[in-house]
Amino acid sequence: MKTLWSSLVLLLAAVPTVLWRRRCRGPHQRPVSPAVPPPSPPVVPPAPGAGTDPDPVRPVRSPELDARVAAAVLDVVAAMTSVELRRRLIEAVALLPDIGLVDPAPGTVFDPERHAWAETRPAPEAVDRDTVAVTLSVGLTDHLGRVVRPARVAVYDQEGE
């Protein structure tokens, strides 16, 4: 009788373990049935005009978005101290297809439509008055050539002003 009770206790103790193993078994451990695989879905021809976008996940680029991104990058460039890194980022912005840079060379006549007078420097000679001494930050034009952001420049003015 004692053996019967011992066997019954062992059986009852083993049942939860067996049930647990069956429940926790992953899909890779399930036995493979010799059943026929499910039929593949029917092939439907694409609708007219479908498939013209090679990457439907990629957002559509717009010149306005390019201009906003370029302006944000140039804001960061203006705060940088590394000349080499500034140059590289400005070159990267220049690669955007619908963006033009406003980067006046020293000696260029100040144009209020394209330049923002940020600093005044004494003119070395009278002929240098109202010309760009140095570009402090590069400006931008949009895809139509309109100035989106004028270049911030230091301008030569009369000596002592």
Domain ranges in the chain are: 63-157
- What is the β-pairing status of strands 139-141 and 147-149? antiparallel
Q: What is the pLDDT of residue 143?
A: 87
In CATH, 63-157 is 2.30.22.10: yes
Environment class of 73 (CB within 10 Å of its CB; exposed 0-12, middle 13-18, buried 19+): middle
Q: What is the pLDDT of residue 161?
A: 47
Q: Around 88, how many Cα atoms within 13 Å sit in the side-chain half-sphere?
A: 6
Q: What is the pLDDT of residue 2?
A: 57
Please state the pTM of the whole predicted model.
Answer: 0.58
Q: What is the pLDDT along the chain (161 residues), one digit of tens a residue?
A: 555 555 555 555 555 555 555 555 555 555 555 556 666 666 666 666 555 555 566 666 778 888 888 888 888 888 888 889 989 999 998 888 888 999 999 999 999 999 999 999 999 998 999 999 999 999 999 888 999 999 999 999 976 54
For residues 102 and 70, the answer to whether their CB atoms sit within 8 Å is no
Q: What is the pLDDT of residue 68?
A: 86
Q: What is the pLDDT of residue 1?
A: 56
